Amino acid sequence: MTQIVSSEFPMTRMRRNRQADWVRRVTRETVLTKGDLVWALIVHDGETPRIPVEAMPGVDRLNLDEAVKAAERAKALGIPALALFPHIDPSKKDAEGSEALNPDGFVPQVIRAIKRAVPDIGIMCDVALDPFTTHGHDGVLNAKDQIDNDETIKRLVEQSLVQAKAGVDVVAPSDMMDGRIAAIRKALESHGCTNTMIMSYSAKYASAFYGPYREAVGSGELLKGDKKTYQMDYGNTDEALRETALDIQEGADMVMVKPGLPYLDIVYRVSSTFNVPTLVFQISGEYAQIKLAAQAGWLDEDKAILETLSAFKRAGADGIVTYFAEQAAELLS
């Protein structure tokens, strides 16, 4: 009798399900879609339509008209939301970040203009003072040049209310002050902004990868010292869970892990521990790495974009804030 099974050959051949494109697609566990993307935009308050960000090839600071056009482009591509980050005239900056609280300031103008033109596009807006301060920190300083947590919260509450009243869908505190989510939620409720969502940057690490962004918003050269007294230490993971749990308890509707690719373990732990929408930010340094490597001919840019974005999904992210959103949406189309 012929022996049907030989011990010399494997019964289970994992490569069978990889042998053709169609079967790889059918058996794929993680699928990236355009609905996963949030387009990070740098907006500026000048008249020049587009100002290239040197450290981020392909990214421009957009004036108000161009920001509206980007929103229309996002709508056409099927990108559900934008995340706005401002660059303002340095003459408007002060030590307290007062321009962030101006109801007629540039950020509220952009929110209103986009909502008029594309009412059903989602708008998330950064809540932090670093683009507005002369010292580049996310909060206000005390007499010892230390970040004053509670005084900062008062200003973040005002900043959130200004954005909410302008029509923003999601306020996104990225400052990492203790207790700010509860204060913002309470203020939003008391001012009738009950539908305004909060996306908390719950696990935001003190990272070397923020440099290009700081150039983009004009805070890098101004920054005094570092942000290690309020952003998280990159050696910690359990702390990320404690931070996230507190923010959820205080009223966050969504949570964020930032940066992205170097912190996939944090994305996984947060998303698998808490039953809340979890987003991740593919930040400026990650963007610049891919762009510059592609320009040098060291990797395929399109493939690297989709691979890294898929990695975020695989780790458990529900949404991805990225400067690559437009390009990724085109590729996914």
Q: What is the number of domains present in the chain?
A: 1
Which pLDDT score is estimated for 4?
Answer: 57
* Inside any domain, residue 198: yes
The number of residues making up the chain comes to 333
* Inside any domain, residue 15: no
| DSSP state for residue 22 in the 8-state scheme | H
258 tagged catalytic? yes
Which pLDDT score is estimated for 2?
Answer: 54
SS3 label, residue 305: helix
Which pLDDT score is estimated for 280?
Answer: 98
Burial of residue 251, with CB atoms counted within 10 A of its CB: 0-12 exposed, 13-18 middle, 19 or more buried: middle
Q: Which domain holds residue 181?
A: 31-332
* Inside any domain, residue 203: yes
Q: Which member of 115, 204, 227, 313 is catalytic?
A: 204
* Inside any domain, residue 16: no
Distance CA 84, CA 70 (A): 11
Distance CA 243, CA 257 (A): 11
* Inside any domain, residue 25: no
Distance CA 224, CA 141 (A): 11
Torsion of CA 103, 179, 169, 42, to 10 degrees: 70
* Inside any domain, residue 72: yes
Exposed e or buried b per residue across 139-175, where buried means at least 16 C-beta atoms within 10 angstroms of its C-beta? bbbeeeeebbbeebbebbbbbbbbbbbbbbbbbbbbb
* Inside any domain, residue 14: no
Q: Which of 325, 241, 326 is nearest to 281 (CA)?
A: 325
Q: Which member of 93, 115, 227, 258 is catalytic?
A: 258
Q: What is the CATH number of the domain that holds 175?
A: 3.20.20.70
First CA to last CA distance, the chain: 55
| DSSP state for residue 133 in the 8-state scheme | B
Residue type present at position 276: V
Do 290 and 305 form a contact (C-beta atoms < 8 A)?
Answer: yes
* Inside any domain, residue 19: no
Distance CA 285, CA 80 (A): 24
Q: Running along the chain, 333 residues long, what does each successive block of 10 average in pLDDT?
A: 64 93 94 97 97 96 98 98 96 96 98 98 97 94 94 98 98 97 98 98 96 90 89 97 98 98 98 96 98 98 98 98 98 95
Which pLDDT score is estimated for 1?
Answer: 53
Do 32 and 313 form a contact (C-beta atoms < 8 A)?
Answer: yes
Whether the upstream peptide bond of residue 259 has omega within 30° of 0, thus cis, is yes
Distance CA 120, CA 326 (A): 17
